[in-house]
Chain A
């Protein structure tokens, strides 16, 4: 473990705002945190970076009293402090903004703010006090929200402000933010960091949990790196580089680019015209887009999550309805009728790696062999006769695929939930790619997947492209989009903001497009 540097110069004499010593935490057989020590100087922004599943959120949840550590000590401003529950954390001056907001949707902003810190048994005085204080906070920190608005009517950016207000109203001196920009546009994110800067200027201590190197490099004073439940290093941000951090995160040099030969695009396989999707709540999520994907080409769709990409995939995958026109190899797809379901899509030659493997792509309780045919269970090849399926044939097929796709452990009878994220994803990829589809839709292929599996999955996708298949890739990771795509389209607010070739663009330009800024004046997909 590295010796800690003393925050930023002028505070060097003060006791650390937070110091953790030897924190360990296991969930059943899984060791989420292992002997972690860290110290954070007051009045700084301290980043904690690591891959998904590295144990960052668990560590911070322990600090917030949400989980109890198995071992270790917590010191706040030099005092050893017990944090058995969130109440204790709040008393110790710690506030937390979770990745998934903890707000009551049908309550007003005020009601959410006072929840848990009401003044006395009746609500009226508490509400009045909170209203006054929110006004003051709004002016001090650019944190404006209508106190009487219902949470469900606010956008995510505003909801996040409510979470920050909640913490400040509880007089938090230490603010923990868990992946705060995952749901924000770059502009909203910039606004957030302006707020955080202001808070730091007031002497508040901020812990920023993220997996985005850019945020760490731009906004933090110090950074700690976590890998597989352990703290690998803590360094001053200005003394490190993205490359060094990336290496610390994954444990070895990462190949950020994918080895591939230039694409040789052929005929159009997928042609989308004026596609519109309206969700269950009646909100238009895809607002008339035009797209095409050619054979032997990977089209990457970039965008902040929640800008219509999911809905686009749902339509193509056959579990959402839409208007407009979608043609596959020149033939119209049914968008609303009997043939708009997922089974018909598969029969037409569309394979689909879904964004959320645990709630869509797999039945977690089923063994691997029953997952390997999921969605393709009507195939003649696995039927014994008109009534029964051929279980032993399915096991056999699964064993073969597991071997070839290096799924570990290669046991067809093991339940899906018993595999790691990367191996779960390999099961899905094996199932979908091996169908030899005309079009493969891939959503967030490497979310929560370890680095080894990422490379493997990327290679498989590129190999399928080289066989002349069309691939539509949706990812919120710009790096993945840039390194894998042959052509990039950016989605914002249900529109295609523009198309770029990876060689002619960069993260900055794409980031602008993702924020809805149409720099070049090109009239993207906006109808």
Chain B
């Protein structure tokens, strides 16, 4: 395997990791505030569809972005309503929203476009196009660093850079601001927050909105950056892989980047080498497909460190008597 191939695989890994990273950060915000979110998958799917659909109908990816984020936030708020206001089971709510997303995207897509659930292919201003970083072309021929800069780092769409910038941003907000302190507190012990005179409900809803925005970006990138248009079930389990990465990262933003890059790399390798010949055994493509899930199970089994979720996660907050 030569150097350029490695760069190309890493480049592809970064693309594959971006939606995972965005969704993972969404999950992080949500779960750090004490709300489990297995509805990431559904939010990715609806935002992917509505961003692609609106972009296609209006010719503007920015309006698409707005639509995608809005729908994702709406889904998030429904989840919030079930989890926060009506103290329902957060897992069940997530499952329900995933089904709703699967159904609605096809139902609306078929009605609007009649393409069997697909949107028309997006072109030009209807999608996010690659951005060439300054001097990328000039530096292309510099050994080692040239390809790293010009191929690996340059030439991605806006949302890739946004996602990468979000990692330090989320870290800063979480650990250095008042909002972050309160959010971490509400995921650990909402009663402490409540008795300190802060509204648990408002904090959690705020977290829901932020998670909705971030998860929306994941779907938008999928449909308008990574691909050019929406396809039925195109989230393909990414919401769940993001969830796995979140656990892997122990609910921390910087490790979340590492975890999603790892899963992105796995996907990139699977795309490039459908079958991997290890000499004594040939790994079939299906194995490569399943590998992120298998890895997640191994992580969950606690063979690679114990993952302790936020203490109040999954529990609706009820003032005790």
Binding site for B on A (CB under 8 A): 27, 32, 57-58, 64-67, 85-90, 96, 98, 100, 102-107, 111-112, 114-118, 120-124, 126, 166
Contact = CB atoms under 8 A, between A and B. Distances in A.
Given A66-B319, A115-B192, A124 B198 contact: no
Contacts of A105: 188-189, 311
B181 interface: yes
B181 A115 contact: yes
A121 B177 contact: yes
B181 A123 contact: yes
Interface in B158-199: 176-182, 184-185, 188-189, 191-199
A116 B179 CA distance: 10
Contacts of A90: 196-197
B178 A126 contact: yes
Contacts of A115: 181-182, 185, 192-193, 196, 198
B151 to A, nearest CB: 39
List the 5 shortest-distance A-B pairs measured between CB atoms, nearest first. Answer: A116-B196, A87-B197, A86-B197, A118-B178, A102-B192
Given A111-B181, A118-B178, A104 B195 contact: no
Most buried by B among A65, A86, A90: A86
Given A102-B191, A104-B189, A111-B181, A116 B176 contact: no
B177 A116 contact: no
Contacts of A87: 197-198
A126 B196 CA distance: 15
Contacts of B193: 115-116
A29 to B, nearest CB: 14
A89 B197 contact: yes
Contacts of A32: 321
B197 A121 contact: no
Contacts of B188: 104-107
A87 B196 CA distance: 7
Contacts of A98: 195
Contacts of A166: 196
B168 to A, nearest CB: 15
B309 to A, nearest CB: 12
Interface in B181-227: 181-182, 184-185, 188-189, 191-199
Contacts of B321: 27, 32, 57-58
Most buried by A among B189, B194, B199: B189
A117 B196 CA distance: 8
Contact of B194 (A86, A103, A107, A120): A86
22 contacts: A86-B196, A87-B198, A96-B195, A98-B195, A102-B191, A102-B192, A104-B184, A104-B185, A106-B188, A107-B185, A111-B181, A112-B192, A115-B185, A116-B193, A117-B196, A118-B178, A121-B177, A121-B179, A122-B176, A123-B176, A123-B178, A123-B181
B178 A64 contact: no
Given A88-B197, A116-B196, 18 more contacts: A58-B321, A65-B197, A85-B197, A85-B199, A104-B185, A105-B189, A107-B184, A107-B188, A114-B181, A115-B185, A115-B193, A115-B198, A118-B181, A121-B178, A121-B179, A122-B178, A124-B176, A126-B178
A509 B198 CA distance: 45
A102 B189 contact: yes
Nearest to B172: A122
A64 B197 CA distance: 10
A120 B319 contact: no
A114 B180 CA distance: 13
Nearest to B312: A104
A120 B195 contact: no
Nearest to A166: B196
Contacts of B196: 86, 90, 102, 115-117, 166
Contacts of B178: 118, 120-123, 126
Nearest to A103: B192
Contacts of B184: 104, 107
A388 B176 CA distance: 60
A88 B195 CA distance: 11
A179 to B, nearest CB: 14
Nearest to B176: A123
Contacts of A58: 321
Contacts of B195: 64, 66, 86, 96, 98, 102
Contacts of A65: 197
Nearest to A124: B176
